[in-house]
């Protein structure tokens, strides 16, 4: 049985060489019917892997520039291999809709181990168990979305109650969210699933201040290892907010406590005037 995640991120060869047709799905929309950024990353990553066509090459590095928000419905992914290397290959990948580039990306594809890091183990954050987090999350309704976004049907997010202030309209002020993440149909996460995971949470800036939507300008993700089974733990935090922009860093640990993915993004936001 195909999982809903695989179904929603499917691509098929398009009319021209290196192009892929896809259908952006309602299941991965958040506010205003726009698809989630991490979901778009997974779709583009799947096209990049198919375009390279080399066994056991995964997206290990990806940067995407968000030019305009795509809508649900048909879209095309246009790929071009810039370098085919012995240990790493690089591609240019663009998500096109209505003949306009919507998301443009540079991706690096390479092999991925599933062993421990050679240096620099980063421990996962302390947080309550998944069940406790799930119960706390259920008891909140987001003032942003007026409830659970459609995406919740595909991916279950269970937030650490200590970082849930935003969901009641009272940001905790720490600029950090922590959550357990699992597919609703219990499909295990793979490297493409991690590409989704690094931008799956609401803006971490919501734990600083309730603002309107916080559009990502640029998102960079690194996938560091093939994940072990089990739910992911995700820590998403704000660095600095300056000149109307925030940097936000995401770290993802697998079921074996290994840091398997990281991302950093620059997002535009206007802080509300101080009261």
Residue nearer to its own copies on the CB measure, 7 or 113:
113
Least distance (Å) between residue 205 CB and its own copies: 8
120 binds its own copies (CB under 8 A): yes
- Residue 250 touching its own copies (CB under 8 A): no
Residue from 1, 16, 17, 87 that binds its own copies (CB under 8 A)? 87
Q: Binding of its own copies at residue 136 (CB under 8 A)?
A: no
Output 133 or 221, the one with its CB closest to its own copies: 221
Q: Is 212 exposed, middle or buried (0-12, 13-18, 19+ CB in 10 A)?
A: exposed
Q: Is 60 in the site for its own copies (CB under 8 A)?
A: yes
Q: How far is the CB of 21 from its own copies (least distance, A)?
A: 22
Q: Which one of 51, 198, 241, 250 is in contact with its own copies (CB under 8 A)? A: 241
Rounded Cα–Cα distance for residues 21 and 199 (Å): 23
Q: Decide if 200 contacts 155 (C-beta within 8 A).
A: yes
| Residue 76 binding its own copies, by CB under 8 A | no
Q: What are the b/e assignments for 131-144, b being 16+ CB within 10 Å? A: eebbebbeebebeb
DSSP code at position 203: P
Of 91 and 200, CB closest to its own copies: 91
Residue 208 is a binding residue for its own copies (CB under 8 A) = yes
CA distances from 67 to 39, 47, 95, 230, 243 (A): 16, 19, 10, 34, 20
> Minimal distance in Å, beta carbon 49 to its own copies?
16
Decide if 59 contacts 50 (C-beta within 8 A).
no
108 touching its own copies, by CB under 8 A: yes
Cα 9 from Cα 95, distance rounded (Å): 13
């Amino acid at each position: 049985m195909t999982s809903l995640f695989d179904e929603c991120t499917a691509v098929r060869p398009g009319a021209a060489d290196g192009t892929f047709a896809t259908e952006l799905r309602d299941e991965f929309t958040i506010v205003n019917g726009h698809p989630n950024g991490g979901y778009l990353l997974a779709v583009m990553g799947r096209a990049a892997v198919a375009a390279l066509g080399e066994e056991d090459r995964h997206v290990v590095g990806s940067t995407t520039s968000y030019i305009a928000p795509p809508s649900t419905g048909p879209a095309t992914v246009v790929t071009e291999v810039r370098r085919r290397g012995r240990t790493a290959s690089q591609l240019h990948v663009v998500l096109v809709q209505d003949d306009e580039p919507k998301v443009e990306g540079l991706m690096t594809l390479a092999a991925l181990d599933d062993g421990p890091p050679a240096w620099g183990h980063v421990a996962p954050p302390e947080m309550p168990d998944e069940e406790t987090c799930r119960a706390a999350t259920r008891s909140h309704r987001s003032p942003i979305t007026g409830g659970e976004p459609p995406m919740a049907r595909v991916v279950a997010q269970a937030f650490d109650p200590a970082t849930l202030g935003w969901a009641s309209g009272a940001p905790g002020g720490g600029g950090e969210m922590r959550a357990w993440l699992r597919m609703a149909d219990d499909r295990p996460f793979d490297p493409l699933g991690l590409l989704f995971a690094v931008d799956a949470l609401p803006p971490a800036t919501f734990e600083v201040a309730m603002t309107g939507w916080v559009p990502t300008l640029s998102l960079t993700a690194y996938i560091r290892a093939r994940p072990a089974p089990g739910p992911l733990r995700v820590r998403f935090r704000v660095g600095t907010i300056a000149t109307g922009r925030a940097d936000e860093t995401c770290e993802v640990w697998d079921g074996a406590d290994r840091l398997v993915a990281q991302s950093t993004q620059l997002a535009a936001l206007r802080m509300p005037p101080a009261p």
